[in-house]
Structure formats: C-alpha cells, structure tokens
Amino acid sequence: MNPMSTSALWAPFTPMRQFNRQPMLFESAEGMHYTTIEGHRVLDAMAGLWCVNAGHGQARIVEAIREAAGRLDFVSSFKMSHPAALSMADQLAAIAPAGLDKVFFTNSGSEAVDTALKIARAYHQARGDSRRTKLIGRAKGYHGMGFGGLSVSGIGRQKRDFGPLLGDVAHLPLPYDAGLRFSNGQPQQGAHYADALLQLLEVHDPATVAAVIVEPVTGSGGVYAPPVGYLQRLREICDRHGVLLIFDEVITGFGRLGHSFAAQAFGVTPDLMTLAKGLTNGAVPMGAVLVSGSVYDAFMAGPEQAIELMHGYTYSAHPLACAAGLATLAVHEELGINAHVRQVASVWQSAALALREQTSVQDIRAIGLLCAVELKSRENAPGARAAEVAQRCFDAGLLVRASGENIVLSPPLIISEEQIALIFDTLQRVLDQVA
C-alpha cells in the first residue's frame, strides 16, 4: 500500500479527479505557515479554513489537548457532564453579548446551525405558538451542510443535487448592489435592504415565521459586510413580529472583526448565535449555540423530570474539544488578539482596496481581517481566473482560497503588518501575470 496514494479518499468540496492528479498534501504547520510534504512552505492566508485564528501549533492548546486525552478520554453529555464543559460554557457566556447566557455544544458549524434552527422552532412550540415554523435565510448565506442549514442557505448550486429540503423556508436578498462595490468596511448605504424582511413577513404571514438566520458578514458566499444600520433594522423588525434572530458567527466569531463576536462589533444582539471553527482554533472539532436566557426559560415550564430539548450529539462537549476551547480562549486573552485585529484591520483593508486598479478586478470587499477580491469572469470559463491566481499564489508561497470568482482571504489573526504587505504584494504580482 502506498501511504501517499489518494485512491481511497473522497474529499469534501473537492474535484476528485483533479485532486488525484495533483494532490495538495500538508505535513506540518506552525504560526502563520504550512509546510507541504515536499517541504514547500506557504503563508496561510486562509487560517486553515477560517478557523486557526490564533495561528498554528499554539503550544498551550497542543498541551491542553494532550493532557485532557490522558486524563478523561470521553464522557457522555447526556444526563452528565465534566468540569471542562462547565468552564467552557461559563467562559463563552462571559464573553458573549449580555443576555446570551446558555450554551449548547455541538461538533461543527453545521450541527450548530441545525441545532439553532431546531431550538427556534421548539421555542415557539414550547410557548404554545405552534404555527411558527417558517425559517428565513438570505441570498449567498452559507450555513453548513446539514439538511437544515442547506435549506436556509442562499447558494443554489450547493442545494441542486439533494432533492427536497425543508419546505417552510424563504430568503432575504443580499444587501449589496453595484453602487456598494469597493466599500472599505461596512457600506454606508444599503440599510433599506432589511425592509425586504417586512415584505417576506407580509407574504408568509408573520405569525407563521419562527426565525431569521444570517451571517453578520456573509463569509463563504463572498465576504459581504452588512451596510451600516442593516442588522439593527433586522433586529427591530424581528422584535416587532415575535421572530427570533439567529446570527451564524461560525466565521465572524473569535476575533475576526476585532471583537469576540460580530454582534459586539456591530452592536446588535441576536437571540441565538452559532459558533464553531475559531472556538477551538480548529484544533479539535467543536461547535456551539449560544442561547438567550429568555429562550431557554421558555423550555423550562414542563414537568421537571422531562427532557426539555430532544436533541444532542454523542460528542457534544467532548473533553478534548473543551480542553482545546478553554486553552484557545486563554491564548486569545494572553495575546490580546481582539485588540491586535482592531489595530491592523485598517492596514489590511487599505492594502486590499489598493488592488482595485488591477484590470482583472471586479470588486474588493474587506472588513476586519476578512477580504474577497472578486475577479472578472473569463468568458465560458467561470472561476478559471481565480483558480489560476490561487495556484500561482501557492507556487509563490501564499495559500489563498479560490471560491467561484473570488480570492478569499482570512489569515490567522496574529498576522503582522509585514505579513499583510507580503500577502497583497504577492497577490498584486500574480494578478499582473494572469490575464
């Protein structure tokens, strides 16, 4: 058996035949860098997959996982728990916006989203309002790959092959138009896009809607920041009509925008918040749903011996994940990551926007330490230009993500100003070379 054979692997979101011809295989990672099995060192401008926010191989996280594995390998979270799970829940509630003080653990962002959607529906049931089952997502939203998350997702291509999804779903438009191109941070215009929710509520009857779910900043769909005032308006409309607001902060959580959560960056608190990725610095799979006390309380009215939420996962609050999560929170605190991001975000955003003169660039959207450089589509070859740019960047020692026509950047949050300059200089050089 060849240990480097790709023949048995079926990888997620991967063109397998192309991958088998030219597999990209990594052997190690440290700080801002990966090293491939051939010894090629690349600067990781993706933070793994939007998740290694504190940089690779953080010693404290590595050691915490090692220690936990040797002490308590597993314990069920059904009707029992362990001290690290309690601490993790406490600490998350402590850094969350006021009011979000209950924590339900999952193992991924997809599970967090499906859990949040189920809690939203069950909340209305628990209050005796069983007509409220409809869920509202948004165009270009990405909420993972469970059937629930896929149903509220706003990326049609990802739904096409999987038959009927949840029926009771509608979608808001993306708050974006050509006038908002090249906005640095939040667009100043566009709050009115939130009023589309009023229209949807009218069409669907507000008394039948359970929840609205949005990413505060659209991530995988191409990095779209919310216009100033947009999320506030969504919040007001939801409040007025008894609809729960869910923020999917799987990407925006844990410092990406210079605050623990986007909710704090934008000053809008949802009723539920989904987390994953940066929660454990990507080191052990883990997700979570933060839930407001008032939503939780609605479940606590029945008989005391009854399970209030018929939902959960074998590996919820896994000891290794909790150990990694607690160490991650400590590292964030120790390194002052939120403050660092606030300090370098304007350098990042300006460096990104400086690429706007490139002839192949269609748009650039940058906020916090996130950025999408959208390239003009080649005739009859959608995505080909971005794929070529990503490959050339890789050859030049820079790992970026090509997603459709976008080059998407979300580096570890420990990035220095020199490394920011290096990323955008490399990208500029590559864009100069690629027609």
Burial letters 337-360, b for 16+ CB under 10 A, else e: bbebbbebbeebbebbbebeebeb
Q: How far is the CB of 345 from ligand PLP (least distance, A)?
A: 20
Residue closer to ligand PLP by CB (options 121, 143) is 143
Residues that bind ligand PLP (CB under 6 A): 108-110, 113, 142-144, 215, 219-220, 248, 250-251, 276
The residue among 48 and 227 lying less far from ligand PLP, judged by its C-beta, is 48
Q: Of 187 and 253, which CB lies nearer to ligand PLP in the complex structure?
A: 253
DSSP 199: H
CB distance 65 to 324 below 8 Å:
yes
Closest residue to ligand PLP, judged by C-beta, is 109
Nearer to ligand PLP, 248 or 405 (CB): 248
Query: What is the number of residues in the chain?
Result: 435
Burial 293-303 (b: 16+ CB within 10 A, else e): eebbebbeeee
What's the closest the beta carbon of residue 219 comes to ligand PLP, in angstroms?
Answer: 5
Choose between 248 and 363: whose C-beta lies nearer to ligand PLP. Answer: 248
Phi-psi region of 144 (alpha: psi -120 to 50; beta: other; left: phi over 0): left
Q: How far apart are CB 277 and ligand PLP at their closest, in Å?
A: 6
Bridge partners of 161?
Answer: none
Q: How far is the CB of 385 from ligand PLP (least distance, A)?
A: 23
User: Which residues are CB-contacts of 328 (< 8 A; sequence separation ≥ 6)?
Assistant: 54, 58, 61, 254, 278, 279, 280, 281, 283
CB of 190 or CB of 219, closer to ligand PLP: 219
Residue 435: is it exposed, middle or buried by C-beta count within 10 angstroms (0-12/13-18/19+)?
Answer: exposed
- Percent helix, strand, coil in the chain, to 5, is 40, 20, 40
The candidate with the shortest Cα–Cα distance to 214, out of 119, 110, 102, 136, is: 136
Strand partners, 218: 224
Angle between helix axes 417-433 and 337-353 (nearest 10 degrees) is: 30
- Confirm if 36 and 44 have CB atoms less than 8 A apart: no
Q: Which is nearer to ligand PLP, 155 or 323 (CB)?
A: 155
Q: Residue 253 or residue 319: which is nearer to ligand PLP going by CB? A: 253
User: Minimum Å distance from CB 146 to ligand PLP?
Assistant: 8
What's the closest the beta carbon of residue 49 comes to ligand PLP, in angstroms?
Answer: 7
